[in-house]
Amino acid sequence: MSPLDGFSLSRWWSLVLKEFLQLRRDRLTFAMIVGIPIVQLALFGYAINTDPKHMPTAIIGADHSEMTRTMIATMKTSGYFDIVGELPDEEAGRAALARGEVQFVLNIPAGFTRRVLRGERPALLVEADATDPMATGMALASVNQLARSVATKDLTGPLAFLAGGQAPFEVRVHRLYNPEGITRYNIVPGLMGVILTMTMVLMTGLAITRERERGTMENLLAMPAKPIEVMTGKIVPYIAIGLIQSTIIILAARFAFRVPFAGSAVTLYLAVLLFVAANLTVGITMSSLAQSQLQAMQMTMFYFLPNILLSGFMFPFQGMPAWARFIGNLLPLTYFNRLTRGIFLKGNGWWDLWPDIWPLMVFTVVVMAIAVTFYRRTLD
C-alpha cells in the first residue's frame, strides 16, 4: 500500500491553511521569520569584518621629526590604525592596553631620527593587545611594509643611500597577553559569557512563564508569599547554576584548553556574579512580557543573536562599524567579554576592570527597574 492511498487534497489543503492562519496570529513567530534573516544579513554583511581596521592606537613619542610624522601619517592612511592620543611613557601605554582603551601603542624612542641618520638601524616598538589574534593580525603584518615605504619616501637626496637595501630602521612588535596568537585563548574565556547569557536568560524566562502557562502562578499568588519572595526564590537556584557553569568552563579552560590564567579567581567569580545578575534581570523582564514558554524562548533567541555577534565574542569589537559598536555597548556581554579576557589573559585587577564593571552595574539597575515596573503582582 502506498502512503498516498486515500490522500485527500482538500484535507491536506485545510491543514496547510490552518497552519498559515495560526502562524499569522502568532505575531512573535512571524516577526522572527521576517526579522531574523534581516538582522543576520545586516550583522554578517555589514558589522562583521574579518580584516578589522581603525584600531585605536596611542603614541609614545619621545622624538618628533619629519620621519616620525611620516611614519605616523603612513600608519593612519593604511586604515588599520586610528591615532587616538599621545601617552607620556611606557607605563601609561601598558595601562591603556590592559584596560582595552587602545589596541596598539607605537613607541618612538628618544633620539630615533638621529640614530636613523647615523645608519644605526634603531627600532620602533609596536606593542599590541593580542588577546584577540584576529584583531591584530592584519595590522601587525602591515607595519614592516609601512616602515619600508616611509624609508623610500623620506630618505631622498643625500640620504638616499639609507633607502637602499635594508630598511634604515626596524619595527619590533610585541604581542602582549597572547604572544603566540592562539585563537583558543581568546575564544574560551569569551565562551563563558556566551554560555551564561544563553542559560541564565532562557532559564529564568522559562521558569516564570512556565508557572504562568500552567496556571500555577495563580495558586502561588494566592498563597501568602510576597512577590519579592517568589521572584528571588525563583532566581537563587539559577545563580547557583551560573556559578557551577562558570566553574566548569574555568576548569576546562585551564586544564583542557590550557588557557593561561593570569588574574585572580575571586575577581573572576565576582565578575561572574555581577554578569549573572545582569542576565537574570533580562530573563525576568522577558518572562513578564512573554505570554508563554515558547515566546520566552523566542525572545531569548532575539536577545542572544546581537549578543553573540556584536559583543566582540566572534569578531573584534574595535573593527566593527560605529553603529554596531553602539549596539554592542548596550549589551552586557560586551563588557563581560572584556572582563573575562582581561582577567584570564592580562591579569587585570579592579582598577583596570572598572571601565567594564560600572556599565554592567548600570545595566543591571536599569533593567531591574524595568523588570519591577513590568512585574505583575496580580493576574491583571
Partner 1 sequence: MSDEYAIDVRGLNKHFGDKHVVKDVGLQVRRGEIFGFLGPNGSGKTTTIRMLCGLLKPDAGSGTCLGYDIRRDSARIKRHVGYMTQKFSYWDDLTIRENLDFVARMYGMPDRLEAVDRTLKGLGLMERANQMTGALSGGWKQRLALAACKLHDPELLLLDEPTAGVDPGARRDFWEELHRLSAAGISVLVSTHYMDEAERCHKLAYIAYGSLLAQGTSQEVIAAQGLITWAIYGGNLAGLSETLQKLPGVEQTVLFGAMLHVSGRDGDLLERTLRATAAGAAFRMEKVDTNLEDVFIYKMKQSADQNGIGT
The residues binding partner 1 (CB under 8 A) are 214-216, 218-219, 221-226, 378-380
Closer residue to partner 1, CB minimum distance, 45 or 224: 224
Closer residue to partner 1, CB minimum distance, 3 or 215: 215
How would you list the strands of the sheet with 55-61, edge to edge? 81-86, 55-61, 104-108, 123-129, 170-176
Closer residue to partner 1, CB minimum distance, 165 or 215: 215
- Residue closest to 193 by CA, chosen among 314, 289, 372, 287: 314
Distance of alpha carbon 373 from alpha carbon 131, whole angstroms: 40
Strand ranges inside the chain, DSSP E: 55-61, 81-86, 104-108, 123-129, 170-176
Distance of closest approach, residue 290 Cβ to partner 1, in angstroms: 19
* 8 A C-beta contact, residue 293 and residue 207: no
Torsion of CA 110, 115, 116, 121, to 10 degrees: -100
Distance of alpha carbon 375 from alpha carbon 36, whole angstroms: 27
Distance of closest approach, residue 286 Cβ to partner 1, in angstroms: 22
**Which cell numbers hold the place of 24?**
499569522
Distance of closest approach, residue 241 Cβ to partner 1, in angstroms: 17
Distance of alpha carbon 72 from alpha carbon 77, whole angstroms: 9
Distance of closest approach, residue 377 Cβ to partner 1, in angstroms: 9
* 8 A C-beta contact, residue 189 and residue 345: yes
Closer residue to partner 1, CB minimum distance, 217 or 239: 217
Distance of alpha carbon 54 from alpha carbon 136, whole angstroms: 11
Distance of closest approach, residue 218 Cβ to partner 1, in angstroms: 5
Closer residue to partner 1, CB minimum distance, 95 or 220: 220
User: In this structure, which amino acid lies at residue 175?
Assistant: R
Closer residue to partner 1, CB minimum distance, 84 or 221: 221
Distance of closest approach, residue 349 Cβ to partner 1, in angstroms: 44
Distance of closest approach, residue 185 Cβ to partner 1, in angstroms: 42
Q: How many CB atoms lie within 10 A of CB 123?
A: 14
Distance of closest approach, residue 206 Cβ to partner 1, in angstroms: 13
DSSP category for residue 45: I
**Which cell numbers hold the place of 315?**
569578531
Closer residue to partner 1, CB minimum distance, 145 or 219: 219
User: In this structure, which amino acid lies at residue 269?
Assistant: Y
Closer residue to partner 1, CB minimum distance, 79 or 227: 227
Closer residue to partner 1, CB minimum distance, 225 or 244: 225
Question: String of b and e for 163-183 (b: at least 16 CB within 10 Å)?
Answer: beeebbbebebebbbbeebbe
Distance of closest approach, residue 207 Cβ to partner 1, in angstroms: 12
- Residue closest to 147 by CA, chosen among 89, 87, 78: 78
